[in-house]
Amino acid sequence: MPRKKTSKKPPKKTRTEYVPHIATGKAPPCHVDGCREPGEYKAPKSRDELHEYHWFCLGHIREHNQQWDYFAGLEPDDIEYFVKDAVTGHRPTWNRESQVRDQYFKLHDALYEFLTDSKRPAKPTPPLTAKLRKALATMDIEYPYTVKGLKVQYRAMVKKHHPDVNKGDKKSEELFKQITAAYHTLSEHIKSL
């Protein structure tokens, strides 16, 4: 004979059945003056002190909950900011779009190399102005360059062509001026990228 499945669900609690936050014997007196009931239910002291509590009896916690407004005294812009910030649980967020995009291109390049057994052709360099080409030639570096590489090359050339090192040699002095001008041109260019 098959057994009938019987599942007894616990009865649902009604709205009138509040579970105290602390046992009656350990409860401090109700926070309301003149009330002698035990304060079994806690409520935050204020919006700024959410982890410090007043203790109320059941009747007074009901009154407190009906009257208390978390947003009382806040400007509409502050309330809107709070609501938007609550979406992430008031935790900081970061823009992942750029990180995801970079990973996508790396994966795309790796897949291309795997399928074709060759590396992607290098991206063509953008057309450079005559002033930038002259500065690159003066500094003896190639495009694209890095800030660090530019500084290393500049220091090496300054040590070699500084007027104090060459004891008044006019050619070195003129070359030193050109190197300094080229360095500033290339520095400004890389900052603008």
Q: Which CATH number goes with the domain that contains 134?
A: 1.10.287.110
pLDDT exceeds 90 at position 109: no
- Beta carbons within 8 Å of 131's beta carbon, 6+ residues apart: 185
Mean pLDDT of 22-31: 86
Residues 84 and 33 in one domain: yes
What's the confidence (pLDDT) of residue 12?
Answer: 60
Residues 27 and 81 in one domain: yes
Residues 172 and 117 in one domain: no
Give, in order, the Cα–Cα distances in Å from 174 to each of 61, 79, 138, 188. 86, 65, 12, 22
Give the pTM.
0.38
Residues 146 and 170 in one domain: yes
What's the confidence (pLDDT) of residue 48?
Answer: 85
Helices (H), the chain: 58-67, 76-86, 97-116, 130-139, 147-161, 163-166, 170-192
Q: pLDDT per residue over 52-87, tens digit each?
A: 999 999 999 999 999 988 888 889 998 998 898 888
Mean pLDDT of 15-32: 79
What's the confidence (pLDDT) of residue 182?
Answer: 92
Residues 83 and 137 in one domain: no
Count of structural domains, the chain: 3
pLDDT exceeds 90 at position 30: yes
81 domain residue, yes or no: yes
Rounded percentage of the chain residues whose pLDDT exceeds 90: 22
Residues 24 and 83 in one domain: yes
**Residue 153 or residue 22, greater confidence:** 153
**Residue 1 or residue 152, greater confidence:** 152
111 domain residue, yes or no: yes
Residue whose C-alpha is closest to residue 24's, from 14, 6, 36, 38:
38
pLDDT exceeds 80 at position 24: no
106 domain residue, yes or no: yes
Residues 70 and 115 in one domain: no
4 domain residue, yes or no: no
Q: Print the domain residue range for 116.
A: 94-123
